[in-house]
Structure 1
């Protein structure tokens, strides 16, 4: 299902007929299919651990090309394959798993043109991530999750080729303290990502 959504978004980008945008431009509505590296880090203030895997998503944005600068807004829906499991935590043979799930983002970006078709930009906004926890002792299993509010900062480069474009960006997200059933775990969560995207402009 997740791959089908990405494939559909990519198909929309490729199938979109060339409208008025034949030259390099960053103005107007854009849809991007994203994929890349995702690293989730948990810390208790003394020790920390991280797990990394593949992340993917789609982004919808609107940009205003001001000539030498570009400003815009964007929203993103993403997911991740990051998962970490440990065994023998409480009893022999048990398993505790923590996995990153859907991630929502809305924010702004602003950049300067290095060339008519090259843009360097910074971004900032709000992010909400879903974190899932599951535990089994070999007989009984329980699972729970929490939606974490945080902020995201990032920077990237985008190249425009008429109605298409490609981008690469690094972003850092901080979700603060983790709570499950309103109980503070004492852990905080941060995320580092390097993403690339295929952009279609409408």
Structure 2
């Protein structure tokens, strides 16, 4: 019985060797990404025609699913982030807060490990305003996000990415963000 077990283990390892030697997989599958970066929120609240911006640190996570067909990648993703951006002056304060995003992306595989992509979708930002006439107001703003980036595979399951995105919300609020991420495919 011991010899049969040893023979079965040798046969299994011989059959598994070609699988382990295969090239890295494609970009298809479920993925989770931790993201962080720079957030610039333009609240557009200066009545003189100029705008006031809140710069801050952006952090959060996204979950998505991609399908690769030849060198084209189609995907969907959802994201939640938080920002430290705050605009103060004249006894008032406006804070950028959480941002939700759901959208699609379309990409083109370059070489074996890089994906250049564009994205677009719906976004919803929360903000709070307090002091000088605001009295502690919180609200949400719906909008549209567009962006572009590059994703680079580190292994079959791990990747890094960088992207720029622009979001345009109602009431004259907009955001420019530059983010990086580390993610895993499941």
Report the aligned-residue RMSD. Answer: 2.0
Question: Which of the numbers 45, 57, 61 marks the counterpart of 1:58?
Answer: 61
Q: Secondary structure at the residue paired with 2:49?
A: coil
- CA contact under 8 A between 1:166 and 1:198: conserved in structure 2? yes
Q: Offset at 1:45?
A: 8.1
Q: Decide which of 114, 127, 132 is 1:131's aligned counterpart.
A: 127
- Bigger proportion of residues as strand: 1
Match of 1:194 in 2: 178
Larger Rg: 2
Give the unaligned 5+ runs of structure 2. Answer: 1-19
2:163 aligns with 169
**Distance in 1, Cα, partners of 2:111 & 2:142:** 36
Residue 52 and residue 167 in structure 1: after superposition, are their counterparts in 2 closer, same or farther (change >3 A)? same
Runs (5+) with no aligned partner, structure 1: 1-19, 88-94, 178-187
Match of 2:96 among 92, 100, 108: 100
Q: Higher relative contact order by CA 8 Å / sep ≥ 6: 1 or 2? A: 1
CA contact (8 A) 1:24 1:117 kept: no
Q: State how far apart, in whole Å, the 1-side matches of 2:142 and 2:113 are.
A: 35
More helix by share: 2
Residue from 73, 84, 100 that aligns with 1:81:
84
Contact 1:64 1:72 in 2 (8 A): yes
**Distance in 1 between the 2:180 and 2:25 partners?**
19
